[in-house]
Amino acid sequence: MLFPPYWVLLGLSITVPVQQAAEGSFPPPCDSKIYCTGELLKQVQLAKLFNDSKHFVDMPLRESPEVVLEHFKQLVNSMPGGALSKQQMVKFVGSHFSPPGNELEPWEPPDWTSSPQLLNRISDPKLRSWALKLNVIWKQLGRKVSAGVKISPQLYSLMYVPNPLIVPGGRFIEYYYWDSFWVIEGLLLSDMVATAKGMIQNFLYLVHKFGHIPNGGRIYYERRSQPPFLTLMMESYLKHTNDTDFLRDSIHLLEAEYRFWQEQRAVNVSVAGKQYLLNRYNVQIGEPRPESYSEDVELAAGLDEEAQQNLWAELKGAAESGWDFSSRWFLPGPPPLPATRQDTQTSTVVPVDLNAILCRVEQLLASFNKALGNGEKASWFQAAHEYRAAAVRAVLWNDNAGIWLDYNLVRQRHNQAFYPSNLTPLWAECSMEADVAKRALHYLKETHALSYTNGIPTSLAHTGEQWDLPNAWAPLQYMVIAGLAKSSSPQAHDLAFTLAQNWVRTNLAVYEKYHAMFEKYDVEGDGKPGSGGEYEVQVGFGWTNGVILQLLDFYGDRLNVTGSEA
């Protein structure tokens, strides 16, 4: 069965700017010949002038891109063989680029309050005083785009947005897409409604400009997105404000983003003789990630050109999934070949979580349109939601395992491994099977995912990648906990509370030890930040703080760390 898009059915036009590549070739990561592609980027990044490859592509230009490129060409031409020494490159970068960081300025949110109402709902005094400290961190993470970026955008890799915002923290000095969903939830619970609205308006602005929301606020992220939470951001905001005017003014952009996913990220899957249309992460751009250039070149060393380009495209797909990197996307050869990052094949996976999120998006767009009196569109989105739920059941539900599993298009079967994302349809309330909460409990026990008391691990595979064992991430904890809590099973409710208590205790124990909040945590050992992957663990940290505030909101009357060793 094929599902015709409503813009065809209703003859509507939602314009989505689409980047078209010439036949048989990949488009570049963006049009910038400095930040995304070209000889200057290549030479500087391969010379490894900085510890973190992201440093160079975040540096603003001192002169126009044309002048910088012309000077670079002259310098290269003046050298026999065109090769620059490391010293010359350091000098060139120093004289043509300024250090990163000033393109965003510290900003104290005017709606920040020292005593959000949430505090009154937290019984445990120790948790209440911790929440007070987390609330202060919003002020440290507040940024506004500097005037220079608006006046001369061509000098910056930062992408202009109109409103100030909260950044994740650490090396992530700009805004990120899916991080911001959890940040916005935290802001709303901290009574910072105006800041939350400004961030949503920024994302709407990006949809208006690009037709989709880039992974993060840099030009080199332009052609990859991230898990599509924009419509859910709007839902959270409306719950706190009932601001229907804002919804009416923006619904066409929510729909445009949905259209991007349906037009650019959909895939047909045939199961048992029937065809279903579902979604996947898929970024067909065959160049190294500009912000991890030398890492990607080294990873692809020894492959032929086509294999290199395919690997780079798949790495960008993994970045789009938010899970960069993870054995979840590895498609290795037959055992005993070890699976490594070089086996990343994100586009061959139909992921449970992406389809759960879109299932929720369709349901929300149905109810939003209904509330606005757009009956025809509401019916279309309701039908799309039902179509998705049936497709999720047919393609992703595994009755033996008693849970949804990622489907691999090449192997034409499920990936049997445990990931917290396998439970996300519970959270999205998509495609509910009979007794599904009970079966999910059984699944969690069977897989031993519950044997880690510091949190739910991202997978059960030790690979050294950051989206694998032993790391645990706040958004995944939240989606599992909320899914169990939404069900009708009392046992699932109890487990949801236990998991929330475990996660809160881990975060607090680590906070007391390190005086910081981290982007990820280690489920092994006695409470420490996570590790592994491409860069050092980062502090701040936007989504971690947002999720803790959500758990305190939900369970504040019951959570108790005073009686624990935390």
**Residues binding ligand NAG (CB under 6 A):** 2, 51, 123-124, 240-242, 266-268, 275, 560, 562-563
Tell me the C-alpha distance between 332 and 342, whole Å.
9
Least distance to ligand NAG, CB of residue 48, Å? 10
Least distance to ligand NAG, CB of residue 51, Å? 4
Least distance to ligand NAG, CB of residue 555, Å? 11
CA dihedral 200, 205, 211, 215 (to 10 degrees): -60
Least distance to ligand NAG, CB of residue 401, Å? 27
Given the residues 58, 255, 519, 522, select the one marked as catalytic. 519
> What are the Cα distances from residue 324, in Å, to 215, 226, 311?
12, 11, 13
471 CB-contact burial (10 Å; exposed 0-12 / middle 13-18 / buried 19+): buried
Q: Of 441 and 559, which CB lies nearer to ligand NAG in the complex structure? A: 559
Q: Which residue has the tokens 């005993």?
A: 336
- Residue 179 among the catalytic residues: no
Tell me the C-alpha distance between 551 and 124, whole Å.
13
Q: Of 362 and 468, which CB lies nearer to ligand NAG in the complex structure? A: 362
Least distance to ligand NAG, CB of residue 267, Å? 6
Tell me the C-alpha distance between 363 and 378, whole Å.
9
Ramachandran sector of residue 19 (left: φ over 0; alpha: ψ -120 to 50; beta: rest): beta
Least distance to ligand NAG, CB of residue 16, Å? 15
Query: Crossing angle, helix 39-46 and helix 65-78, to 10 degrees?
Result: 70
Tell me the C-alpha distance between 427 and 479, whole Å.
6
Q: Of 342 and 560, which CB lies nearer to ligand NAG in the complex structure? A: 560
Q: What angle do CA 155, 157, 158 make, to 5 degrees?
A: 105
What amino acid is encoded at 194 in this protein?
A
- Ranked by CB distance to ligand NAG, the top (closest) residue is 563
Q: Of 123 and 163, which CB lies nearer to ligand NAG in the complex structure? A: 123
Least distance to ligand NAG, CB of residue 563, Å? 3
Q: Of 242 and 416, which CB lies nearer to ligand NAG in the complex structure? A: 242
- Residue 399 among the catalytic residues: no
Q: Of 49 and 432, which CB lies nearer to ligand NAG in the complex structure? A: 49
Read out DSSP for 56-122?
HHTPPBSS-HHHHHHHHHHHHHHSGGGPPPHHHHHHHHHHHB--TTTTEEE---TT--SS-GGGGG-
**Contact assessment for residue 279 and residue 355, using Cβ atoms and an 8 Å cutoff:** yes
In degrees and rounded to multiples of 5, residue 258 shows phi and psi of -60, -40
Tell me the C-alpha distance between 234 and 219, whole Å.
25
Q: Which residues of 104-128 are buried (b: 16+ CB within 10 A; e: fewer)?
A: beebebeebeeebebbebbebebbb
Q: Of 28 and 228, which CB lies nearer to ligand NAG in the complex structure? A: 228
Tell me the C-alpha distance between 462 and 340, whole Å.
11
Q: Of 103 and 124, which CB lies nearer to ligand NAG in the complex structure? A: 124
Q: Of 123 and 342, which CB lies nearer to ligand NAG in the complex structure? A: 123
Least distance to ligand NAG, CB of residue 558, Å? 7
Q: Of 267 and 401, which CB lies nearer to ligand NAG in the complex structure? A: 267
Residues ≥6 apart with Cβ < 8 Å to 166: 109, 138, 141, 142, 143, 175, 180, 183, 187, 195, 199, 542
Beta pairing partners, 349: 408
Least distance to ligand NAG, CB of residue 126, Å? 9
H or E stretch covering 409: none
Least distance to ligand NAG, CB of residue 196, Å? 13
**Contact assessment for residue 533 and residue 465, using Cβ atoms and an 8 Å cutoff:** yes
Given the residues 103, 324, 362, 406, select the one marked as catalytic. 324
Beta pairing partners, 278: 267
Least distance to ligand NAG, CB of residue 358, Å? 14
Q: Of 85 and 562, which CB lies nearer to ligand NAG in the complex structure? A: 562
CA dihedral 513, 516, 517, 518 (to 10 degrees): -80
Peptide linkage before 518 cis (omega within 30 of 0)? no
> What six digits make up the tokens of 12?
């509507």
Beta pairing partners, 408: 349, 413
Catalytically active residues are: 324, 519
